Amino acid sequence: MAQNHTKSLKPSVIAADRDSLSAVQAITDYAPANRDYTTQSLLDAQTEMDAKMAALAQAEAVFKAARDDAVAATHRFHNKVVGMRDSIGAQYGKDSNQFQSVGRKKTTEYKKPTRRTPKPTKTQQ
């Protein structure tokens, strides 16, 4: 028996269990002392497991679809904000306080380009 009932079993273990159930169905005089291990009890447990696994697969599909919808909505929102920032720049100018208030950098805040003087080489000294 499995010790940790919170971890999923490997698919190979489940496949082996299904094979064992199929084999025990062929044994006509199987009569366990514990009613929990009767063929009908095992079939009921397999039916329950299949139903729960199907419900899990459906829930995962719903989760993935919801996640995809949320990601798409996030991208739509971001693209609209970027467009709004660009329209603020077009309407008020890229050096305005309004442009800065929406999270953009004014053009005057950028560092002015400077001409670099070449470093003297050893032969020039």
Structure confidence by residue, pLDDT tens digits, 63-112: 999 999 999 999 999 999 999 999 999 999 999 999 999 999 998 888 88
Q: What is the length of the chain?
A: 125
The predicted structure's pLDDT at residue 118: 80
- Neighbouring CB atoms inside 10 A of 99's CB total 21
The DSSP line for 74-125 is: HHHHHHHHHHHHHHHHHHH-TTSHHHHHTTPPPGGGSPPP-PPPPPPPTTT-
The predicted structure's pLDDT at residue 98: 94
pTM surpassing 0.85?
A: no
What whole-number distance in Å separates Cα of residue 124 and Cα of residue 120? 6
Place 121 in a pLDDT band, splitting at 50, 70 and 90.
confident
- Amino acid occupying residue 99: F
The predicted structure's pLDDT at residue 122: 74
> Does residue 123 or residue 60 have the better pLDDT?
60
Does pLDDT of 30 surpass 80?
yes
Determine the Cα angle at 50 with ends 46 and 56, to 5°: 140
> What would the two tokens of residue 15 be?
């496949």
Q: Give backbone dihedrals phi and psi of 82, rounded to 5 degrees, phi first.
A: -60, -45
The predicted structure's pLDDT at residue 4: 83
Place 55 in a pLDDT band, splitting at 50, 70 and 90.
very high
